[in-house]
Amino acid sequence: MPREPQQSACFGEMTAKAALWARTRPRRIDGSPTVRTISALAALVVVAGGQAAHVRRRYGEAPPGVPDIDVTVEPSGVGAQGGRPVEVAVFGDSSVAGVGVHDIEEALPVQLAQRVSDMSGRPVHVVGYGVSGATTRDVLVHQVQRAGQGHDVSVLVVGTNDVTHLTPLAALARTTSELFSALTGEGAPAVVSSLPEIRAMRVLPNPLRAAAWAYARLVRRVQLRAAERNDLVHLVDVCRAVGREFIGGGPYMSSDLFHPSAAGYGRIADTLAPAVVTALRTHQTGVVS
Structure confidence by residue, pLDDT tens digits, 20-63: 444 444 444 443 445 555 555 544 444 444 444 455 455 555 56
The angle subtended at Cα 193 by Cα 148 and Cα 107, nearest 5°, is: 75
* pTM attached to this predicted model: 0.81
**Of 183, 67, 76, 181, the residue nearest 128 (C-alpha):** 67
Residue 148 has pLDDT above 60, yes or no: yes
Find, among 152, 116, 115, 145, the residue nearest to 129 by Cα. Answer: 145
Q: How far apart are CA 170 and CA 175, in angstroms?
A: 9
Residue percentage of the chain with pLDDT more than 70:
73
What pLDDT score does 287 carry?
63
Q: Tell me, what's the pLDDT at 46?
A: 42
Mean pLDDT for the stretch of residues 149-172: 95
DSSP bridge partners of 69? 128
- For residue 32, the model assigns a pLDDT of 44
SS3 199: helix
147 or 1: which leads in pLDDT:
147
Min mean pLDDT across 23-32, 80-89, 231-240, 259-268 is at 23-32
Reduced to 3 states (helix: H, G, I; strand: E, B; else coil), residue 163 is helix
At 71-117, the pLDDT tens digits run: 999 999 765 667 899 999 999 999 999 998 999 999 999 999 999 99
How far is it, in rounded angstroms, from Cα 57 to Cα 55?
5
Comparing C-alpha atoms, which of 267, 237, 276 is closest to residue 87? 276
List the single range of 62-71, 121-130, 137-146, 235-244 with lowest mean pLDDT: 62-71
CB 169 within 8 A of CB 34: no
d(CA 126, CA 140): 19
Rounded to an integer, what distance in angstroms lies between the CA atom of residue 77 and that of residue 79?
Answer: 7
CA distance linking residue 143 with residue 199, whole number of Å: 28
The answer to whether the peptide bond before residue 251 is cis (omega within 30 degrees of 0) is no
Look up the CATH number of domain 4-282: 3.40.50.1110
pLDDT of residue 124: 97
Length of the chain: 289
